[in-house]
Every structure is written in C-alpha cells, then in structure tokens.
Chains A and B, each alone.
Chain A
C-alpha cells in the first residue's frame, strides 16, 4: 500500500464527515414543524380537466426541450473540452489572457447551441400567451447580459489561473473563499441593480408593515419591478443582504392578483428574509464550492492543471456537468426553504384560504403542472408543487382548527 494513501484517505474521510455534518446542520436550520402532515389532495378537485390537460401538454414540451438542450450543451462542451485547446493559437495574450479567451469561447459556444432551444421555448411561451418578448429581443437582447457573464467569467478565470500558478494542487482551497466572497458581494449588490419603484397600493403597504412586525423583520422595503412589457408571468423575490434587503414584486402580480393573494406573496418573501434564506443559500453555495473546485482541480491535472489555458475547456465541461448533476440536490434544498417560507406566510397571514386561492391562480397564469411527474419534480422544480402548497395550507387550517 502507498505510504501516503492512508493519511490522505483519513483526511478525505474527515473532510467528508465535516461536510456532511455542516450540510445536516444547514438542512436542519430550515424547518417546517415536524408534526405537519400534508394531506393527499386530488388535483381534479381544484382544477378543470381542460386546464390540467393544458398544463400537462405545456409541461411535456418544456421538459423535452430542457432535456434536449441539456444534452446538446453537454455534447458541445465535451467536444470543446477535447478540441477547444487549439484556439489558444488565436491568442497573443499570454497565459491568463489565453485562458480567458478559451473560457469565453466555451461560453459563446454554449450560447450558440442553446439559442435554437431558447427560440423554440419562446415560441412555445408566446403560443400560450405567457410572454410578449419578440424573437429579435430573444436573440440579440441578451447580449449585454452575455457580455456581463463574459466579464465575470474572465475575472473567475483570472483568479483561478492566478492561484493555480502559485498553488498548483491547493488552488481550489484558496479560490473557494474568494468565490464565496464574490457571491456575498453579488447578493448584497443585486437589489441595487434592479429598476424598481415603490409599492403604491395603500392596503398592500399597510399589510407589508403589519407582516414585517409579525415576522420580526424590520425596515424591509417592498418594491415593484415593471416587467409587463416582456412577460405576463407572476413572480416575486426576496433579495439583498443586511441594509440592501428588500422584497421585489413583479407588477404582473400586483396588477393581476387580489390584495389578499398579494399579501400572502409578501408574507412568503418576508418569510425568506426572516429565516435568513439568502445567507443559508450562500452557505449551501460554500458547501458545494469546495468539493466542486476540488473535482475540477483533480480532473484538469492531466491537462497541466488550471494554471494552463489548455485546461480551461475541460474545466468548463466539468463545471457544467457538476452543476447538472447537483441540480436535484439544489432543487431539494430550494424546495425545503420555499416550504418554510410558505409556512411562515401562513403563520403570519393566518389566511389559508388566501394562500390556496393564490396557489390555484398560479396554475392558469404560469401553466405549471399542479402535480408534475417525478422526473420534473426532481430535476426542474425548485418550489414545492402547487398541490403540495395547497396541501400545506390545508394542513395549517387543520392544525389551527383544533
């Protein structure tokens, strides 16, 4: 047996144990009362057969499109991982610059192969009146965002390749904290990048103040983002850290939903903030960043390690593959937190009927399947299903009726 193998295995086991313990603690910090048992509900009692049929058709198409685009993306990146290194000769930018070029080309390739799927998805959503985005906007309108991704990618690669030069085997341990720091910065800055305005409805403003008090979160601005030009989908989010925290409601939800329903939405988003879900999400990100970067470091060793530009195409492939593999876990974590926010909203509003009405309205407005297949649930659902959310409202009612 190799003399160094045993200590390495022991260290690995120790680190794995530490990871599992940290993950368990983090998971346990997000809770819906254990005594809550969700009743089994029949979706046909809540939705008409034609609506269920429509959501099933819509969902099937979306799943097929997602599967195909994911497979094509992986194939494209696999080919690029194998042959992308040859583009190094198109660079006069030295080691770091060449790495950036190869990284950007990989991203550009992903964008190019996914563009047809994006257009088809858009066609599908337009057909169902879920979006007003034009095809030209879809193709050319996201270039600025793509440019932003390129800049972020270049910064990331500069950090990774710079550290890999100094710490060829341990760069991942040094890079992960840097990425966590960047994630924290983004989480803090994100609210300031959104174009929003104040919530004008006096009833909703009063409700949000009341809910803040109940959920013990203070001075959280509830603002509105105008998106009705591009989509009719309803949405809201809790965003920011510390002083940048706020609840953002899409104007589609404010204008189309009742005050009672929007109140539940605000309570749900405040629930995210009250239970520190953004901090916990960054915690989960940190937990995945260390093993993720470690695996990339291991896999790229045969290409000279991440200090070499030749390793960049392979690293992109591994990064995307790991992200896809981790998606069910990330979805499960997200669903766990969303369930807690739903419970917090029910506790704060004490309005299960309002919550049920809200969740029911989501189905015709988003064409989300109330009870999707297991495959969809595992790979694509980052919220509890509509039926689970209605069941939770029922469970709350039963629990508080005793």
Chain B
C-alpha cells in the first residue's frame, strides 16, 4: 500500500534544544512571520500565474515552480521552528538541505489539465486535514478580495499542542520529547504536501499515512498498549457507512453508562494501587475491557474499522483491536499524581481528536463512493485512536508507560526477536 510520495519529509533533527531560543521562540519567530506573510502575497500571484501556465502548457513553468518550491519549503521551516520541531533558526530563502526538518520537492512534471483546472476544489479535503493538524503555516491571501488571509494551517490543534507541550519539556530538559517531535514533523510534512498539491508542485494527492510520512525516522520503543489488526483490510459497507452515526448511537449510550461505572472503578483502582502498589486483577480486567470497548466504538464511529462492534470489549473480536498489559507493579508517586501527569496526554489527545473528526468526515465520503477506506486517512485515524487508548490506559492505571505521541508504531511491528534460551543459573558458592 505504500507508494513513495514525491514530496518527502526529511528529519535530521537530534532532539536537542537551546533553552534560551526555546524560551523566546515566539518572539524570535516574528521576523519569520512577517517575511512569510510578504512571501505569501507574492506566492499568491505566482500560484495564479503557475495555474494559468500549467493549464496552457500542461506542465508548471520552471521558474515559477522553483519559486513556489522555495515558498513551500520556507513555510515548513517556519512551522518546524515555531512548533519546536527543529532547533536552529531557519534561513529566509527556503533553501533545500539547510534545515533539520526539510522538504524534498520534485522537479516540474506534466500534469493533467482537468485536475489542474479544479485543483483548488480537489485540494479542499487535504487542506481541511492540514488545517486540523496545523503543520505548515503558509499564510495565503484570501481570493475573495477581502484583506484577510487564508491560513492553510498555522492554528491547527496538533501543531499547537506540540508547540506548547514541547516548550515546557524543552525548557526543562533541553531536549524535545521524541514523540512530540515526530507528531510535529508529521503535521509539518502533511501540510507541506497539501500546499505543494495546491500550488501544482506535484499532481500527487497528499498522503496522510504517518508511517509513509516518517519513513526513515527511528521508531519509538514498543508501547505495552498497542493496536493489532489486519492493516490491509480497507473494505467498507456503504450502507453501514451511510448510517454510521445513527448505528453508533446505542454504543454511545452504552459507553456513557459504562463510563460512569468505569470512573468509579478507576477511583477504587487508584486507591488500591496506591496502597498495594499493583492494580487489583479484577479492576484491571474490567477497566481493560472498558478501554478496549472505547477503542472499538470510536474505531467504528470514526470509520477506522468497518464492522459493528460488540458491547463487551472482548479481546480478539474486532479487526482493530487493542493489546493491553496485565497488572504490573507501579511507582506509587506516579500513581498518586497520575491525574496531573496525564494532563499533557489529554492535550495531545484532544488535538488529535480534531484530526480524527476531520479524517472521519473525509473517509465518510470516500468510503461511500468507493466502498473502501483511504489508506492514509485510515492509518492516521488508527494513530489517533491508538494514542487515545494509551492515554486512557495510563489514566486508568492499566500501564505505567506514558502515551507515546509519535505517529509511528512501536518497534513491536518489526519482526519479533527470536527467543533465546533462558540462561542457566550459575552455581552459587555457599558460605562454608
């Protein structure tokens, strides 16, 4: 399913951040904003000329293409800098290969005139998702003559969450958390693809598949809470897609009722874990089912999976399923302050929720027309759902592992390591 996209994200960032520039990041970015704004005005007219030129000749004119490539690259650099996805101050000319978060753009190629003519309309779904993610903050003058600007993103929830949380983390540790950096890089990359598509730099539609976007980026360690399922099964029933919201209502009602009990169970679990150091098996099992059921319902509702889910959160019964660990010993300090520790995860979760809602909205139309889910959007939805499940599991003390914001699956999806025989215990010298 993975076909290489001509607009590629390059991540060479080493996660280290300079505390001083992090602290003043927003102020330092002001000249970049001004320059980006001015450049956007020029890019707006260049884009119109490029559109006319491409319609006339069937291929973007070389000079305009080069100019717009630089614009896309520069806006990606600005956003990477703003959201702390990269550390160094970017240059003002969008030079390729000069920044740790970079965009590789293709040479001009022939483009079909029909899709070129309707490009602005065809690009709308991608721009919608890009706006929700908030990676590339290219400010494009509005086309209706108002003096306002159209922001292809900039205010997106994921970028903002990454920037705010990354600011605190980088100030404290001098290092950007890898999960947040990956999430930010993903949104920057996707928005660059969307902008490149809009500006006729490529005819390939943006690909929201996180794995394809972050190819080459090191995978995070395996998280004890992760998704399993048949990734290649994209078939959807058009009838159940059409009535999806209505069909989900009984599940939403049931989930709401279950949530009331789950919250009470979570409070009990918190006290028990605080005293004994380990969640009681019964409560752990109950809450695990609740978290799994929540995933099933959301996967169904947000069109990340096709079948109508069961009502009990049974393991192994749903195509997009959740692996949860058994009860293990947990640090009492982390347990005691779990609610507060989970706040950053909730912020990221709610930011991803916007993207998830947009992805579901777009998938609804696509699946209704084709009877299949789009590969990229489905994988993005799976990422958002996985993070939500990890956050739930963390809050409910099912695991001590903090949710990992990276869009990449943990290394568990790599081939399983060959089990090695247990070492034979060395003989112990007994004291005479």
Residues of A with C-beta under 8 A to B253: 151
The answer to whether A108 touches B311 (Cβ under 8 A) is: no
Q: Does A105 contact B (CB under 8 A)?
A: yes
Chain B residues packing against A (C-beta within 8 Å): 237, 239-240, 242-243, 245-247, 249-250, 253, 306-311, 317-319
What are 9 A-B pairs at a CB distance below 8 A? A87-B240, A92-B318, A93-B309, A100-B250, A105-B239, A108-B243, A108-B246, A151-B249, A154-B250
Closest to B321 in A: A92
The answer to whether B250 touches A91 (Cβ under 8 A) is: no
The answer to whether B309 touches A150 (Cβ under 8 A) is: no
Cα distance, A147 to B318, chains bound together (Å): 24
Which of A91-119 touch B at CB < 8 Å?
91-94, 96-98, 100-101, 104-105, 108
The answer to whether B307 touches A90 (Cβ under 8 A) is: yes
Give per-residue flags for A47-76: 1 if the beta carbon is below 8 A from chain B beta carbons, else 0: 000000000000000000000000000000
Which of A131-164 touch B at CB < 8 Å?
143, 146-147, 150-151, 154
Cα distance, A154 to B246, chains bound together (Å): 12
Cα distance, A97 to B314, chains bound together (Å): 13
Q: A87-B240, A104-B243 are in contact. Are A92 and B310 (CB under 8 A)?
A: yes
The answer to whether B246 touches A93 (Cβ under 8 A) is: no
- Closest Cβ of chain A to B288, distance in Å, is 18
The answer to whether A91 touches B307 (Cβ under 8 A) is: yes
Chain A residues packing against B (C-beta within 8 Å): 87, 90-94, 96-98, 100-101, 104-105, 108, 143, 146-147, 150-151, 154
The answer to whether B309 touches A97 (Cβ under 8 A) is: yes
Cα distance, A113 to B318, chains bound together (Å): 31
- Candidates A90, A143, A146, A151; contact of B308 at CB < 8 Å: A90
Residues of A with C-beta under 8 A to B240: 87, 90, 101, 105
- Candidates B237, B250, B310, B318; contact of A90 at CB < 8 Å: B237
- Candidates B237, B243, B308, B319; contact of A97 at CB < 8 Å: B308
The answer to whether B247 touches A105 (Cβ under 8 A) is: yes
The answer to whether B319 touches A92 (Cβ under 8 A) is: yes
Residues of A with C-beta under 8 A to B249: 147, 150-151
Residues of B with C-beta under 8 A to A92: 307-310, 317-319
Cα distance, A105 to B246, chains bound together (Å): 9
Closest to B237 in A: A90
Residues of A with C-beta under 8 A to B250: 100, 104, 150-151, 154
The answer to whether B319 touches A104 (Cβ under 8 A) is: no
Residues of B with C-beta under 8 A to A94: 310, 317
Closest to B249 in A: A147
Q: A87-B240, A90-B237, A90-B240 are in contact. Are A150 and B246 (CB under 8 A)?
A: yes
Q: A101-B247, A143-B246, A150-B249 are in contact. Are A93 and B310 (CB under 8 A)?
A: yes
The answer to whether B237 touches A87 (Cβ under 8 A) is: yes
The answer to whether B243 touches A93 (Cβ under 8 A) is: no
Cα distance, A87 to B318, chains bound together (Å): 16
The answer to whether A101 touches B246 (Cβ under 8 A) is: no
Residues of A with C-beta under 8 A to B309: 92-93, 97
Besides the known contacts A92-B307, A150-B249, 4 further A-B residue pairs in the complex with CB atoms under 8 A apart: A90-B308, A93-B308, A93-B310, A151-B253
Q: A92-B309, A92-B310 are in contact. Are A104 and B246 (CB under 8 A)?
A: yes
- Candidates B246, B306, B311, B317; contact of A96 at CB < 8 Å: B311
Residues of A with C-beta under 8 A to B245: 143
Kindly list the 10 A-B residue pairs having the minimum CB-CB distance in the complex, ordered from nearest.
A92-B307, A91-B308, A101-B308, A93-B310, A154-B250, A147-B249, A108-B243, A90-B237, A93-B308, A150-B249
The answer to whether A98 touches B247 (Cβ under 8 A) is: no
- Closest Cβ of chain A to B367, distance in Å, is 12
Closest to A144 in B: B249
Cα distance, A293 to B165, chains bound together (Å): 59
Q: A87-B237, A92-B318 are in contact. Are A147 and B246 (CB under 8 A)?
A: yes
Cα distance, A87 to B239, chains bound together (Å): 9
Cα distance, A52 to B372, chains bound together (Å): 56
Residues of B with C-beta under 8 A to A104: 243, 246-247, 250
Cα distance, A151 to B239, chains bound together (Å): 19
Cα distance, A92 to B313, chains bound together (Å): 11
Closest to B253 in A: A151
- Closest Cβ of chain B to A309, distance in Å, is 11
- Candidates A97, A105, A146, A151; contact of B310 at CB < 8 Å: A97
- Closest Cβ of chain A to B365, distance in Å, is 17
Cα distance, A150 to B246, chains bound together (Å): 7
Cα distance, A90 to B240, chains bound together (Å): 8
Closest to B247 in A: A104
**Which of B239, B242, B249, B308 has most A Cβ within 10 Å?**
B308
Closest to B241 in A: A90
Closest to B245 in A: A143
- Closest Cβ of chain A to B239, distance in Å, is 6
Closest to A108 in B: B243
- Closest Cβ of chain A to B63, distance in Å, is 49
- Closest Cβ of chain A to B408, distance in Å, is 27
**Which of A92, A101, A105, A143 has most B Cβ within 10 Å?**
A92
Closest to A155 in B: B250
- Closest Cβ of chain A to B232, distance in Å, is 17
The answer to whether A93 touches B307 (Cβ under 8 A) is: yes
Cα distance, A97 to B240, chains bound together (Å): 14
Closest to A101 in B: B308
Cα distance, A100 to B311, chains bound together (Å): 11
The answer to whether B311 touches A93 (Cβ under 8 A) is: yes
Closest to A104 in B: B247
Residues of B with C-beta under 8 A to A97: 308-311
Residues of A with C-beta under 8 A to B319: 92
Residues of B with C-beta under 8 A to A90: 237, 239-240, 306-308
Cα distance, A320 to B284, chains bound together (Å): 45
Cα distance, A108 to B319, chains bound together (Å): 25
Cα distance, A400 to B165, chains bound together (Å): 85
Residues of B with C-beta under 8 A to A93: 307-311
Cα distance, A90 to B236, chains bound together (Å): 8
Cα distance, A150 to B245, chains bound together (Å): 11
- Closest Cβ of chain A to B224, distance in Å, is 24
Cα distance, A74 to B308, chains bound together (Å): 26
Cα distance, A150 to B251, chains bound together (Å): 11
Closest to A90 in B: B237
Residues of B with C-beta under 8 A to A154: 250
- Closest Cβ of chain B to A39, distance in Å, is 52
Cα distance, A216 to B391, chains bound together (Å): 62
Residues of B with C-beta under 8 A to A150: 246-247, 249-250
Residues of A with C-beta under 8 A to B237: 87, 90
Residues of A with C-beta under 8 A to B247: 101, 104-105, 108, 150
